[in-house]
Structure formats: structure tokens, C-alpha cells
Amino acid sequence: MTTIASLPAGRAPLPVPIPHFPDVLHAVIWRNWDVIPVADLARVLEGTPEQITELAYAMGLPPQRTITAQEIRRNYMTIMHRNWHLLPYEQLCPLLGWDAVKMQFSLNEDDFMYIKFGGYKPQCPPVRYQAPSGEVAAGVSWINQIAKEELGEAMNASAEPLFGFIERFQNSRKESFVTTDPSLKLRMVYPYFLRFGDPLVGEGIDDIPESYLAELAASGVNAIWLQGVLNTLAPWDYAPELSKGWEERLANLNSLVARCRKFGIDVLLYLNEPRSMPRSFFEKYPDLRGVDETPDRAPYSPDVVALCVSAKPVQDFLVNAVRHVFEQVPDLGGVFAITFSENLTNCYSREYDPNIVDEFALRSAPGEGAPQTELKPCPRCAARGAEVVNAEVCTLLEKGMRLAGSNGKFLLYTWSTPERWLPGIIERLPKSTWLLCISEWGMPFTRGDYQGKVNEYSISVIGPSEQSLRQWKLGREQGLRTAAKMQAANTYEVSSIPYIPALRLVAQHLSNVTGSGVEGVMLGWTAGGSPSPNLDMVAEFARSPRPSVEEALQTVAVRRYGSEAAPEVIKAWNLLSDAYGEFPFDITVCYYGPQSLGPANLLFAEPTGFPATMVTYPFDDLDGWRGPYSEETLQSQFEKLADLWQKGVEVLDQVRRTVSAPAVEDEWRIAEACRIHFRSTANQIRYIRVRSSDKKAAAEVLRDEIDLSRRLFDLVAQDSRIGFEATNQYGYIRFDLAEKILSCRQLLSDLESGN
């Protein structure tokens, strides 16, 4: 039975230091003031709303806006990561309105939440209300003073509330998009603000309003996708407790499908199956036991064992569960499956090299975690081989669809499947399969003194690569359809900005992939679903005859910004694309670097010792950020990127001063937010390199970080999309930027006093 006491803690370090707050209580109030209603905060902190409000006002926080239950439901990841180092589970759960079972499910299944948080729960004592006195009161007074000095009336100025961008879609474009190129049959994105883990429970599908769907349809998008976990969507006699609520989930899925079909948009389920099971499950059903990797995994791994796909009850479950879903939701558009992944699913869902560390999940702290060893499949699967097992998962899932009478699409997303396995997998796939490959995977590039190859999540390096072309050729030779996964709007290069306005790179990539003969495009992973000029570009390359890159840029610029502004906007896009070609790409930089948080990432006087975590907490782990780059090269590349990017921002700044149009103002604001992120990333690298050796240089960085934080504070107040990404939700909000200013002022004070 899952209880608060049984929730995972891992190595349970002490929390990261927060010396700019006088105590943890005030940090909790500050960080939650714009995400949790004061009544709920008071209940968790065992104070009254009046007492908590008094402490907030004493720090200079403004009157609290109305925060709805719907917003909390949409924003749970934001609440989790800003409190992970402040509150224990026994306060986190009631803060969210969750029980221990819901917390455990989310940590395990919500897009690697526990891994993103580091694979540990810091030792956080309970935080209770107490009236400030002595040093605490003095610290509160200091916070109030700094907030007034640095932000003035901006702290109390009106701002677009979190998720305010949803209201923008109420004025969505009404024109429909009709493709004139029948060859590009699939154009798919992940919904911009759909929660990842279990979105079909409760009111989750309301996170996709019709006005948003109209925007997608106008951009040429004709499919969205969301995660499905089969044991929550269909009953299974072996574990009936897991499927509790399947009726509600499928009823909601039916509603979503019907809503989307009104706009010509299909809904596809992402299946990564069969999901592994707790060790206790196999005490009752040992014959279903597959590979057990836990002894050779780092301590953050869930204590689970694979279900063996060679066991008939598991095969039957996959077929019958998919059949059940498609019988209950007959208009579902299809499935895309991953069989080789970060999740432990089938006995060949991994391949381990004893000489490397897991690049997909967590880098354990020095000396912690076991090195990975070569994974050995269970004896049944070992006798059959990786190719047979991976292909069989696809065959079983597709069979379930067809038995239900569905003509929906079935896609195998090859992701990082070892290429030597692919010929044997592809020749065994159902002939209705679409082969979905990452366009840019394996594309060579040079940044400074480093030469490398892309794996995924790149706008700065475009495909298709020789590897993806090879894989599509293999698929076509077997009679399969092919599709490209690319990044069209944004990426983990900078995930918290709604789109990256390097439009020439996006247009060129779309031109390349549509010219390669693929019949579909997946336009990103979970990042990149915001309506944008980038998604508008998709519509242009779904027309016949296909335009040139220059023609597509011209059409989109005129449609969005008008004929007067279009030439200068295109000039800016070209400058921004040139600049973005200097992004120091590596998956380590994307996952662990601070560029997605920008100035919201805190600085520290001394090394914290915390390893950066995947797309959530960069901390001050420069060695963890840089991947294959030297410190010097990483810093110089971000400086070069920021300098070149500034030229494009300056062009847009001139346009917005001469052409009065909200769309032009938006384009400048997004480009300026990107610039701030890039400049701040260069600053942070420099600060870490000089903080112990050059106080003057460190102080210079701190002052610039204050200025950047102040600038971004204003942009965030104007545009609630900035800081947001679908699965991580708000990486930062405007009061996090105010906290960064407090932190920098405290660090400056310590430098000046010699502390």
C-alpha cells in the first residue's frame, strides 16, 4: 500500500540553500503567492489567511489575484518543482490536493517527473507559520526594500495571469486550411497546455479549448497526440486495481476526439507498452516476469520489473486492451508506439553499454549510483532476439486496432532504436505501419572547436540526415509509409519560450523533409504546440506546388504582420536564423543547461554540489551543463549567439516602433525574451568560472543578471506564454525573476563586505 512514508526519497540530501530568504517559511510564501490560494497555503502552513497575507505584504508582494482550482489542476508541475526543496511530502500532497497514490503515480508516469526532480526528495522539515522576530524580521524588511528599489511599482502593476494566453485563442482565426498537397497526410503536434501524466481524468480535456483547435487547423495541423497507459484505459484481470476509472477516461477521450474532428484534427495515442510492474506483482504471477534491471540501475529508478512480451497473457493484454480502447472510442485517429525507450517496457526496450552513463535520465552525484551493465533479457526473449520482440509489440498493438475495426494510423517511432536492429524490425512490421524517424538524428555540425552529431531536439541543426534517409528507404522497401519527427516551433534548446523565431531554419527543414518523400511530419515532442509563425509555416509546405523557402517566408510574414512590416520581419528572421546556427548543440546542453530558465536560474556564492537534473534544475553544475564542450567554448558560443541574436531583435524593435500592430509587438517580445535567455546563460557560465577568483568580474555578472531579470519580469507580465512549456508547465513566473534579483543583491552585498 502506498503511503506518504513509502514515497521515494533516494539519497535525500539537504535542500539547496536559499540565503536570500530569512527562513523557509518566507520562501514558501514567496514562491507560492501566485500559484496557490492563500487559504490553501494557510491550511498547509497551519496559520490563518490573514497571517500569511501579512507576511506576504511585509515582503512587498502584491495583493493575491484569484487562483482557481482549474489553474491548480493545470499547474501541478509548477507547484511541485518550486516546492520540492522546501516542503516534505506530507505538506506537498495537501498543497496539491493529492493523496500518496496520486503522488506516486505522477512521479512514475508523468514524463519522468521524479527523474526531472533529481531522483531524490530533499530532507525538508515541516514548515509552520510563526510570527517573524529578530533576524527574520530584519530579513523581511530587507526583501521589501530591495523589491522597491529594483522593481518599484512593477511588483503591483497589472499582469496577464498564468494561463492567460488561453483567452487569446477566443479571438482565433476562423479561416479553414485546405491542403492542396495530398502527399503530406499527417501534420501532428502535442497540445500546448495539456498535462502529460493522466490527462483524461476529471476535467483535463478542457485544457484543449475549441478556439485553440481552430488555431491549429488554420496552421495546417491535422492531428494531436497524448499519452495513453493501457492498464489505466482497459481492465486487466491480473491487475484490476490499475484500471479504476477507465470508463471516465475513455468517455473523456471520446469527447476530445469528437471536439477535434469538428476541426479536421485526429487524436492519436502514444503507447509505450507494456508498462513494467512492481516487484510484488510477480510474486503472484512469476510466469509473466521479464527482465529485471533495477540492481544495475541508479537509485532513482522505480523498483519495477518488465512484463515479458513472450508470455501469452501479456500478448493477450496488449491486443485486448487496444481493442477495448478502439471499440469504446471508434473515431480515435490511431496510435504511435515507441518500443525502445527510457521506460522499461519489453525485455529489449533497452540496450546498455557498460562504458557510458545513462544519457536520457539522471547523472547521479559523484560516487552515487551503480554503473549500467549490459542488460540481459529474460530467457524466453533471449531465444527470440531484439528484432522479433520489438516488432511483436507493434504487431500486437496494431492487431488490437484492426480487431476493433479501426482504420486508424499505426506509427512506429524509432527514436533511438539501435540502427542495426531496424532491418530485422522493419521487415516484421504490419504493412499498414508508418515508420516515424527523427529527421536530424546523426546530422554533423561544428560549433567553435567542437564537432559533433545531433540526436534530437534541434532547430539549430536541420535534417534530414543520412541516417534518417536510410531508415525511410528501408521502410519504403517494405511497403511502409514514412514520416519525419522534427522541431518546428521550439525545443529543449530553449523550451520555455513558446517558439523560436529562427524561421528560415524552420522553413528550410520543412522544405527538406517534404522534399524527401515522407508522408507525414511530427512537429516536435511535447514542446512546440503554441500557435506561432513557425506552425504557420507547416501550412505552406502542405500546398502544391510547394513554395521555395523564400516564398514561404514571404507568405507567412505578410499574413501575420502585413505587407508594410513583412520585409523587415523577414530580415529579422534571417538574422535570428544566422545567430541560432551558433547554438552549442548537444543533448546534455539541452537537458541540463540553464538556457530554458534564463535569468530565473539562481546563482550561488559557493558550489552547491547538486548535479543538474533533466530540464528542471540546472543549479550551478557547469560540468553537467557543458557536455562535450569546454567551459571556454560553451561560454563563447552563448556569447556569440546572444550578440548575433541582438541584431535581429534590433530590427524587430525598429519595426514595432514604425508599424503599430500587436502581432509585431509579440514577435519582438518573443525574440527579446530569447535574447535575455541566451545572454543570461553566458553570464551564468562566466559567473561560475570567476566567482572564487575574480570578485570584480563576478559583481559585473550579478549586476547584468539583475538588469536582465528586470527586463524579463516586464515581458512575462505582458505575455503569460513566456516561461511555460506543456509537460513542465511554468519553469518560472515573474516572482521567480524578482527572487533572482533578491539573490543577486544578496550576493553583491556579500562580495562588497568580503563575506
Contact 186, 483 (CB under 8 A): yes
- How many CB atoms neighbour CB 131 within 10 A? 10
Q: 207 pLDDT band (50/70/90 cuts)?
A: confident
Q: 450 pLDDT band (50/70/90 cuts)?
A: very high
Residues 549 and 586 in one domain: no
Q: What is the pLDDT of residues 327-359, one digit of tens each?
A: 999 999 999 999 998 788 999 998 744 343 333
Residues 587 and 543 in one domain: no
According to the model, what pLDDT value does residue 364 have? 30
Q: 166 pLDDT band (50/70/90 cuts)?
A: confident
* Residue 302 pLDDT exceeds 90: no
Q: Establish if 167 belongs to a structural domain.
A: no
Provide the domain count of the chain.
3
Contact 347, 385 (CB under 8 A): no
Phi, psi of 325, rounded to the nearest 5 degrees = -60, -45
Q: Establish if 174 belongs to a structural domain.
A: no
Of 490, 525, 560, the residue at which a domain comes to its end is 560
* Residue 608 pLDDT exceeds 60: yes
According to the model, what pLDDT value does residue 343 have? 85
Q: What is the pLDDT of residues 482-512, one digit of tens each?
A: 999 999 999 999 999 999 999 999 999 999 9
* Residue 1 pLDDT exceeds 50: yes
According to the model, what pLDDT value does residue 295 have? 52
Alpha helix segments (H runs only) across 59-99? 69-74, 76-83, 89-96
* Residue 394 pLDDT exceeds 70: yes
According to the model, what pLDDT value does residue 357 have? 37
Q: Establish if 359 belongs to a structural domain.
A: yes
Long-range interactions of 445-454: CB distance < 8 A, separation 24+: 445/585, 447/582, 447/583, 447/584, 447/585, 447/629, 447/633, 447/637, 448/584, 448/629, 448/633, 448/636, 448/637, 449/630, 449/633, 450/584, 450/628, 450/629, 450/630, 450/633, 452/585, 452/586, 452/628, 454/585
Q: How many whole angstroms separate alpha carbon 623 and alpha carbon 620?
A: 9
* Contacts for 644 with CB less than 8 Å, ≥ 6 apart: 575, 578, 579, 582
Cell 491549429 locates to 216
Query: What angle (nearest 5°) sits at the alpha carbon of residue 166, between those of residues 164 and 170?
Result: 120
Q: How many whole angstroms separate alpha carbon 629 and alpha carbon 615?
A: 18
Residues 741 and 610 in one domain: yes
* Contacts for 676 with CB less than 8 Å, ≥ 6 apart: 598, 599, 708, 711, 712, 715
* Residue 255 pLDDT exceeds 60: yes
- How many CB atoms neighbour CB 417 within 10 A? 23
Residue 411 pairs in a beta bridge with 336, 434
Of the listed ranges 121-130, 357-366, 650-659, the least confidently predicted one is 357-366
450-453 vs 444-447, strand pairing mode: antiparallel
* Residue 259 pLDDT exceeds 70: yes
* Residue 263 pLDDT exceeds 90: yes
Residues 580 and 536 in one domain: no
Contact 659, 562 (CB under 8 A): yes
Residues in the chain: 755
* Residue 176 pLDDT exceeds 70: no
According to the model, what pLDDT value does residue 371 have? 36
* Residue 180 pLDDT exceeds 80: no
Residues 538 and 590 in one domain: no
What cell was used for 87? 516542503
What cell was used for 294? 533495477
| Residue of 421, 401, 384, 360 whose CA lies nearest to 308 | 384
* Contacts for 68 with CB less than 8 Å, ≥ 6 apart: none
Q: Establish if 160 belongs to a structural domain.
A: no
Q: 362 pLDDT band (50/70/90 cuts)?
A: very low
Of 560, 590, 607, the residue at which a domain comes to its end is 560
Q: Establish if 209 belongs to a structural domain.
A: yes
Which residue type occupies 290?
Answer: G
Contact 693, 718 (CB under 8 A): no
Phi, psi of 652, rounded to the nearest 5 degrees = -65, -35
- How many CB atoms neighbour CB 519 within 10 A? 15
Q: 310 pLDDT band (50/70/90 cuts)?
A: very high
Parent domain of 519: 184-560
Q: Establish if 168 belongs to a structural domain.
A: no
| Residue of 725, 709, 714, 636 whose CA lies nearest to 676 | 709
| Residue of 298, 223, 310 whose CA lies nearest to 268 | 223
**How much is the average pLDDT of 567-578?**
98
| Residue of 348, 343, 369 whose CA lies nearest to 357 | 369
- The residue that leads in pLDDT, 595 or 211, is 595
According to the model, what pLDDT value does residue 355 have? 41
Residues 501 and 609 in one domain: no
Whether cis (ω within 30° of 0) applies to the bond prior to 545 is: yes
DSSP state string for 631-674: HHHHHHHHHHHHHHHHHHHHHHHHHHHHS--HHHHHHHHHHHHH
According to the model, what pLDDT value does residue 351 have? 77
User: Helix %, strand %, coil % for the chain, to 5?
Assistant: 50, 10, 45
CATH number for the domain spanning 509: value is 3.20.20.80
- The residue that leads in pLDDT, 544 or 284, is 284
Of the listed ranges 47-51, 179-183, 376-380, 623-627, the least confidently predicted one is 179-183
**How much is the average pLDDT of 161-171?**
84
Pick left, alpha or beta for residue 158 (phi over 0 → left; psi -120 to 50 → alpha; otherwise beta): beta
Residues 110 and 256 in one domain: no
Cell 527523474 locates to 115
Q: How many whole angstroms separate alpha carbon 498 and alpha carbon 719?
A: 10
- How many CB atoms neighbour CB 356 within 10 A? 9
**How much is the average pLDDT of 596-608?**
98
Q: How many whole angstroms separate alpha carbon 384 and alpha carbon 336?
A: 24
Q: What is the mean pLDDT of the chain?
A: 93
Q: How many whole angstroms separate alpha carbon 238 and alpha carbon 372?
A: 31
**How much is the average pLDDT of 705-724?**
98
| Residue of 172, 212, 167, 165 whose CA lies nearest to 718 | 165
Phi, psi of 144, rounded to the nearest 5 degrees = -60, -45
CA atoms lying within 13 Å on the CB side of residue 599: 33
Of the listed ranges 169-183, 268-282, 305-319, 605-619, the least confidently predicted one is 169-183
- The residue that leads in pLDDT, 438 or 208, is 438
According to the model, what pLDDT value does residue 204 have? 77
Q: Which helix (H) or strand (E) holds 168?
A: helix 165-168
Q: What percent of the chain has pLDDT over 70?
A: 94
Of the listed ranges 204-213, 368-377, 640-649, 660-669, the least confidently predicted one is 368-377
Q: How many whole angstroms separate alpha carbon 753 and alpha carbon 617?
A: 29
Q: What is the pLDDT of residues 729-744, one digit of tens each?
A: 999 999 999 999 999 9
Residues 543 and 584 in one domain: no
* Residue 46 pLDDT exceeds 70: yes
304-305 vs 277-278, strand pairing mode: antiparallel
Residues 494 and 581 in one domain: no
Residues 83 and 148 in one domain: yes
What cell was used for 447? 560549433
Residues 269 and 397 in one domain: yes
Q: 177 pLDDT band (50/70/90 cuts)?
A: low
Contact 87, 27 (CB under 8 A): no
Q: Establish if 176 belongs to a structural domain.
A: no
- The residue that leads in pLDDT, 225 or 368, is 225
Q: How many whole angstroms separate alpha carbon 80 and alpha carbon 116?
A: 11
Q: What is the pLDDT of residues 69-90, one digit of tens each?
A: 989 988 999 999 999 999 999 9
Q: How many whole angstroms separate alpha carbon 401 and alpha carbon 185?
A: 20
724-725 vs 729-730, strand pairing mode: antiparallel
Q: Establish if 116 belongs to a structural domain.
A: yes
DSSP, res 459: S
Residues 547 and 583 in one domain: no
Contact 28, 127 (CB under 8 A): yes
